Structure 1
Amino acid sequence: MPETVRAEVLARMTEFDVAVGDVIAEAGRDATRIFQVVSGYVRLTGMHEDGSQALITIYVAGNCYAETAMISRRPYNHTSIAMVPSRIRALHERDFWQLYNSHSAIPEALCRKFAEAISWQFAAREMRATTRLRFQIAHMFVGFAERCLGENASKPIELDFPFTQSDIANIFDVTRQSVQREITYFKDQQLVEKRNGVWVVLDLPRLRRTS
């Protein structure tokens, strides 16, 4: 968006801090705000039939979400939860609609975002249909590691947010046993390991070649 429009949007947003496990937006609630992650990580979760939560995606700094619920005037579809202490920006629906109707650049930007999201979903489905699970998981770890990348890519890279093998299984819609088999391979190849509950990418260049 033009810098003047972006500045006006930011001026209307409020910022707040959330602790680990805090619910930012809850599924079924009226969509009264849209959000942007300023720092930290936010998980978007759905619900299994047995009541357990399923990880859908992870939002990182800069990501915005909940615009589709706002524009379609429906409740939030999913629940967003802070994975680590995070800072969030929020834009109230009143301000959203005033800005939306005042600046054509906003609906144009949202249209591009939605089109890109649809394209990404098709690409992700194609990858899952045509690529081995090992490569998909490696690609995921590479993406996470690059977000947490320090100055020296040859050193082990700690992923500074928590997720489990069950979360990975939910992301790729496979069994936990299938994920465990691939994680064992990565550990045996000294590519990825878990230390004190934290995932560590041991060799990012080699992992890139795997993905």
Structure 2
Amino acid sequence: MLVIPDLHNWRKNLPPIALEEIQQTLTLKSYKTNEFIYSAGDDSNKCFQVVSGEIKVCNYSLEGNELIISSLHANDCFGEMGLITGQKRINYAIAIKDVTVNVINSSDFDTICLKHPQILMSLNKFLCNRLQMAFEMMEDAYLLPLYQRLAKLLIKLALSNGESNPDGHIIIKNVSQESLGLMIGATRQSISRELKKMEEEGMISFKYTQLIIPNIKEMINQFENILTHEPLVSSYSK
């Protein structure tokens, strides 16, 4: 599994002069918890970078069932694809908690991209990574049983957001059975059954909104057969 700091930040390695020009065009905007940053069908006339807080990019079925595509944190970028294609938004971006974002509008974005070709190269890599993650998500949904999909998700969350305690255990905070289900398209009841199996096997323990993995290396080794294609994981751990 390939852990990449700032996986969702296409601005990270840009030349200082390009970053300076981007900075001059940015506006700062804040959203309250559960407020929509954009919705499916909106015009794609802005792109964003999280300054603080957390957002989710998600979609809904006709019946109202939610699928979380990604959760994004400080420095993560989103909303660029619509600026490049000129098409309307195809999903929703919603504040999970109070969030502040930097916003760049489409005209400034186009002008800066023309002046600094490095931006387009960085965006190409950024969007290719996103595409790889989308393919992986689709393949897992069709090819892996729920138990393996859930284990893979927990490993990703442990490597990206997990915190180590003095015993060397990995703690994933603020996670619920419902939120895990929304990330992989499963019901809370199904997630509960699979988590119980993992607890019985000593692989995890679940306390309130904290999930504890006693031995992440052992868990990775156990599921190495489904991690062979180096799935991408963004690292937020300090």
TM-score normalised by L of structure 1:
0.82
Would the aligned equivalents of 1:144 and 1:159 in 2 still touch at CA under 8 Å? no
State how far apart, in whole Å, the 1-side matches of 2:206 and 2:74 are.
25
**Residue type at the aligned position of 1:50:** E
Establish whether residue 27 from structure 1 lines up as the match of residue 27 from structure 2. no
Note the residue ranges of structure 1 that are not aligned, 5 or more in a row: none
Q: Cα deviations across residues 58-84 of structure 1 (Å, max 9, x unaligned)?
A: 122222111111111122111111112
Spell out, residue by residue over 1:143-166, the C-alpha distance to the aligned partner (whole angstroms, 9 max, x if none): 323333446462562424x5x434
Report what 2:173 is aligned to: 159
Of 142, 145, 150 in structure 1, the residue corresponding to residue 158 of structure 2 is: 145
- Between 183-192 and 39-48, the greater mean CA deviation after superposition: 183-192
In 1, the alpha carbon distance for the partners of 2:23 and 2:131 equals 26
Residue in 2 that maps onto 1:112:
125
Matched, 1:201 2:212: yes
TM score, norm. by length of structure 2: 0.74
Structure 2, unmatched stretches of 5+, are 1-13, 224-238
Once residues 62 and 140 of structure 1 are traced to their aligned partners in structure 2, the CA distance between those partners, rounded to angstroms, is: 22
Q: Tell me the CA shift for residue 99 of structure 1.
A: 0.8
Find the aligned partners of 1:124 and 1:78 in 2 and give their Cα distance. 16
Conserved 8 A contact 2:203-2:215: no
1:121-143 Cα deviation digits (max 9, x unpaired): 23333444444432322232233
| SS of 1:69 mapped into structure 2 | helix
**Residue 180 of structure 1 aligns to which amino acid in structure 2?**
S
Aligned 8 A contact 1:191 1:207 in 2: no
Q: For 2:73 and 2:205, locate their aligned partners in 1 and report how far apart those are by CA, in whole Å.
A: 21
Aligned counterpart, 2:51? 38
Letter of the aligned partner of 1:21 in structure 2? N
Identity of aligned residues (%): 20
What is residue 194 of structure 2 aligned with on the other side? 182
User: What do residues 93-142 of structure 1 show as CA deviations (whole Å, max 9, x unaligned)?
Assistant: 12111112221111221122222222222333344444443232223223
**What amino acid sits opposite 1:37 in the alignment?**
V
Q: Which residue of 1 aligns with 2:5?
A: none
User: What is the SS of the residue equivalent to 1:51?
Assistant: coil
Aligned residue type for 2:214? D
RMSD over equivalenced CA pairs, Å: 2.6
Q: Secondary structure at the match of 1:38?
A: strand
Q: Relative to 1, partners in 2 of residues 1:115 and 1:146: Cα closer, same or farther, differing over 3 Å?
A: closer
> Given the alignment, which residue of 112, 130, 151 partners 1:99?
112
> Which AA in structure 2 matches 1:74?
Q
2:96 partner letter: M
Provide the rounded CA distance (Å) in 2 between the counterparts of 1:127 and 1:51.
Answer: 23
CA distance, structure 1, for counterparts of residue 120 and residue 219 of structure 2: 39
Which residue identity does 1:159 align to in structure 2?
K
For the residue of structure 2 that corresponds to 1:124, the secondary structure is helix
Is residue 2:22 matched to residue 1:9? yes
Contact 1:142 1:204 in 2 (8 A): no
1:54–1:167 CA contact under 8 A, matched in 2: no
CA 1:111–1:96 in 2, change beyond 3 Å: closer, same or farther? same
Of 20, 42, 59 in structure 1, the residue corresponding to residue 72 of structure 2 is 59
In structure 2, C-alpha distance between the alignment counterparts of 1:19 and 1:204, rounded to whole Å:
37
What secondary structure does 1:36 align onto?
A: strand
More RCO (CA 8 Å, sep 6+) = 2
Q: Separation in 2 of the partners of 1:158 and 1:115?
A: 28
The number of aligned residues is 207
